[in-house]
């Protein structure tokens, strides 16, 4: 039997020859032979606690968990202070995903046997599943205080520390594991993961290579190696690593997905969208937003068919991909979009011929369903490139008037956003400090206007000396409709400058001039090297040439802005020179009008 299914008979346990034979079969992996003997013993003596215990172990080993629980509960009713049974019962509860009960069972085992290292270890594992990470680390520490060479406890402790963002501690834990077991490929791969999060990509690559020298068919090592190579912009090698992982495990969803992202990054949309469909099957993948009994649309004829599309991922994704509704409706479909409530107003106001609902319509039948970001895949070769026609979103006329009046006409007005949502790893490297706008804020006639909401706005309270950023007041996008004011404000701006967040998508969808600051290895949608975007014709991309170097990006933006404003001044001057001036009459009425205009200028 494995340590996970530990059984240690006490000195007082009476073991008959038949029971001894069953245990021998069990320990040698002959589970069906052992099970038959345990059942024979229990047929004669239903309270034989050792047979109950070990038959329960077999039930767990063969995935008959509920039956195993029944046997353990019966055995514990006879012998309630057996730490091994409490421990194994905890394992069964963990496998059944009854995590809180599992912790309780481990606690009971530990109360009886405080130095039970395996119970501390599996308790820690369960706490990690419950996301009680600090408690998990303490339980791993307790297991290691009992058994300092418990290598799996060291590795899992490192995993918990990594999840807590304590990367240096995680790296130290993996190094400790490797000092105990130098050829442990799992520890090397996990170590590479910590190095990768620390942005030490070359060292991470070396760690993965070391793991593969020990275990050449280690799928996760090939996959993670591909991720490190991608961050190093060694794209051909990254693709080869994903291919190698898939040659070993063809259904490895994470590798299929990342290979698809790499294809999209390179502009290979046909292969890219195909791989992107694996997103639902990845480890830690989000659940699909809609599960109803109708087929998924895969590009079939939809003339006269009812299709429901469901919202997924971030606000920027909805803004980027809602354009496909125009093509879906043009194909003859009756389209319903199941979208989060906050975006209802913007969608309904902008896109005709589509029904937008915040909840699943009751009692309605649909011919097809489709996730929003699966529409490009379903359209397939009919839309080989992203449909780039803009604008496809629009602002409410009354809100535009309101914000035009509030902002006024003076100055070169630039809306800015610098911080995306910090949830998850998507924000890693894409956001920058508000202080990067300092040089731009000092340019003559420039007005910087914050479009930032929620995360990042605290930086407005600590502006650098000489830096001015206007804010739009407490009523800016304060109601339930996301972006209702943002789209109206953008209609009064000369330019939007943003990090890779929903504000940039919004400006592009409105066909407003927008400059996007892009990190060294960008999100797939911004592709490679080019300064334009097939998604948004009015967008210009400014890319990092060195990882994390925003200074040079903003230096390029400043130079481009000076050039743009200089051209604008020249155009204005030419228009003024080309406009004939009417002779001035200094009669009483004209003089009043002249004074009135001067007063208006002073008011502005």
DSSP 215-237: -TT-HHHHHHHHHHHHHTT-HHH
**Confidence check: pLDDT of 189 > 90:** yes
User: Model pTM?
Assistant: 0.84
**Confidence check: pLDDT of 326 > 60:** yes
**pLDDT tens across 440-466, in order?**
999 999 999 999 998 999 999 999 998
pLDDT at 299: 92
Task: Specify whether the CB–CB gap between 162 and 186 falls below 8 A.
Answer: no
Burial of 516 (0-12, 13-18, 19+ CB in 10 A): buried
**Mean pLDDT, residues 166-184:** 97
Torsion of CA 142, 145, 151, 154, to 10 degrees: 50
**Confidence check: pLDDT of 587 > 60:** no
Q: How far apart are CA 160 and CA 153, in angstroms?
A: 10
**Mean pLDDT, residues 188-217:** 97
SS3 call for 85: helix
pLDDT at 494: 95
* 414 phi and psi angles, rounded to 5 deg: -120, 120
Q: How far apart are CA 262 and CA 247, in angstroms?
A: 17
**Confidence check: pLDDT of 103 > 80:** yes
Helix ranges restricted to H, 45-132? 49-61, 65-78, 83-95, 99-112, 117-129
**pLDDT tens across 249-303, in order?**
999 999 999 999 999 999 999 899 999 999 999 988 877 777 788 999 999 999 9
Q: How far apart are CA 440 and CA 449, in angstroms?
A: 12
Protein fold of 1-113: 1.25.40
**pLDDT tens across 528-545, in order?**
999 999 999 999 999 999
**Confidence check: pLDDT of 4 > 80:** no
Q: How far apart are CA 413 and CA 406, in angstroms?
A: 13
Nearest to 318 by CA among 295, 298, 344, 294: 344
- Give the per-residue SS3 of 117-131: HHHHHHHHHHHHHCC
- In the predicted model, what is the mean pLDDT of the chain? 89
- Give the per-residue SS3 of 397-454: HHHHHHHHHHHCCCCEEEEEECCCCCCCHHHCCCCCCHHHHHHHHCCCCEEEEECCCC
DSSP state of 491: T
- pLDDT-wise least confident of 139-143, 466-470, 512-516, 588-592: 588-592
Give kind and range of the element (H or E) at residue 308.
strand 306-310
Task: Specify whether the CB–CB gap between 146 and 176 falls below 8 A.
Answer: no
pLDDT at 8: 52
* 464 phi and psi angles, rounded to 5 deg: -70, 155
Separation of CA 547 from chain center: 21
Q: What residue segments make up the domains of the chain, in order of their start?
A: 1-113, 306-383, 402-578
**Confidence check: pLDDT of 563 > 70:** yes
**pLDDT tens across 382-404, in order?**
666 778 889 999 999 999 999 99
pLDDT at 52: 85
Architecture of domain 402-578: 3-Layer(aba) Sandwich (3.40)
Q: How far apart are CA 515 and CA 517, in angstroms?
A: 7
Task: Specify whether the CB–CB gap between 418 and 437 falls below 8 A.
Answer: yes
- What is the torsional sign of CA 312, 316, 322, 323? negative
**Confidence check: pLDDT of 594 > 60:** no
Per cent of the chain over pLDDT 70 is: 93
**Confidence check: pLDDT of 601 > 50:** no
pLDDT at 586: 38
pLDDT at 380: 86
The confidence band for 381, taking pLDDT boundaries of 50, 70 and 90, is low
Cis peptide before 220 (omega within 30 of 0): no
Listing DSSP states for 317-380 in one string gives: HHHHHTTHHHHHHHTT-EEEEE--GGGHHHHHHH-TTEEEESSPPTT---SEEEEGGGHHHHHG
């Amino acid at each position: 039997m494995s340590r996970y299914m530990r059984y240690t008979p006490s000195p007082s346990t009476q073991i008959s020859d038949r029971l001894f034979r069953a245990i021998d079969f069990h320990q040698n992996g002959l589970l069906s032979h052992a099970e038959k003997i345990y059942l024979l013993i229990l047929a004669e003596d239903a309270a034989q606690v050792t047979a109950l215990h070990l038959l329960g172990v077999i039930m767990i080993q063969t995935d008959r968990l509920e039956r195993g629980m029944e046997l353990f509960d019966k055995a514990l009713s006879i012998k309630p202070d057996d730490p091994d049974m409490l421990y194994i019962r905890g394992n069964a509860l963990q496998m059944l995903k009854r995590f809180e009960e599992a912790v309780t069972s481990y606690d009971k085992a530990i109360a009886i046997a405080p130095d039970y290292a395996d119970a501390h270890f599996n308790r820690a594992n369960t706490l990690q599943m419950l996301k009680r990470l600090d408690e998990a680390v303490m339980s791993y520490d307790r297991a290691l205080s009992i058994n300092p060479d418990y290598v799996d406890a060291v590795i899992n402790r490192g995993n918990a520390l990594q999840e807590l963002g304590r990367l240096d501690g995680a790296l130290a834990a993996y190094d400790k594991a490797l000092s105990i077991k130098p050829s442990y490929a799992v520890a090397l791969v996990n170590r590479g993961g910590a190095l990768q999060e620390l942005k030490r990509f070359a060292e991470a690559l070396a760690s993965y290579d070391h793991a593969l020298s020990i275990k050449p068919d280690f799928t996760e090592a090939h996959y993670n190696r591909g991720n490190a190579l991608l961050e190093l912009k060694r794209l051909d090698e990254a693709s080869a690593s994903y291919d190698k992982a898939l040659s070993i495990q063809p259904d490895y969803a994470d590798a299929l997905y990342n290979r698809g992202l790499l294809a999209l990054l390179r502009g290979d949309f046909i292969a890219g969208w195909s791989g992107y469909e694996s997103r639902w099957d990845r480890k830690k993948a989000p659940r699909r937003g809609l599960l109803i009994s109708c087929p998924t649309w895969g590009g079939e004829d939809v003339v006269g068919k009812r299709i429901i599309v469901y919202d997924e991922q971030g606000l920027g994704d909805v803004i980027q991909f809602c354009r496909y509704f125009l093509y879906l409706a043009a194909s003859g479909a009756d389209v319903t979009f199941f979208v989060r409530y906050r975006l209802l107003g913007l969608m309904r106001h902008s896109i005709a011929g589509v029904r937008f609902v915040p909840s699943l319509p009751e009692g309605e039948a649909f011919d097809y369903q489709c996730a929003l970001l699966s529409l490009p895949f379903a359209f397939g070769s009919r839309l080989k490139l992203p449909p780039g026609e803009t604008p496809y979103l629009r602002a409410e006329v009354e809100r535009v008037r309101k914000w035009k009046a509030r902002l006024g006409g003076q100055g070169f007005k630039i809306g800015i956003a610098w911080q995306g949502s910090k949830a998850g790893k998507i924000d890693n490297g894409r956001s920058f400090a508000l202080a990067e706008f300092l040089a731009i804020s000092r340019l003559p006639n420039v007005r910087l206007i914050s479009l930032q909401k929620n995360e990042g706005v605290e930086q407005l309270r600590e502006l650098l000396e000489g830096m001015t950023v206007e804010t739009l007041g407490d009523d800016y996008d304060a109601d339930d409709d996301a972006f209702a004011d943002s789209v109206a404000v953008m209609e009064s701006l000369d330019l939007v400058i943003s990090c890779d967040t929903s504000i940039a998508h919004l400006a592009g969808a409105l066909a407003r001039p927008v400059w996007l600051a892009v990190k060294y290895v960008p999100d797939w949608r911004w592709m490679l090297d080019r300064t334009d975007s097939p998604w948004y014709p009015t967008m210009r991309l400014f890319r990092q040439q060195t990882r994390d170097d925003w200074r040079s990006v903003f230096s390029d933006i400043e130079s481009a802005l000076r050039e743009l404003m200089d051209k604008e001044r020249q155009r204005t001057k030419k228009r003024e020179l080309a406009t004939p001036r009417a002779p001035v009459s200094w009669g009483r009425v004209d003089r009043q009008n002249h004074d009135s205009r001067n007063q208006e200028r002073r008011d502005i």
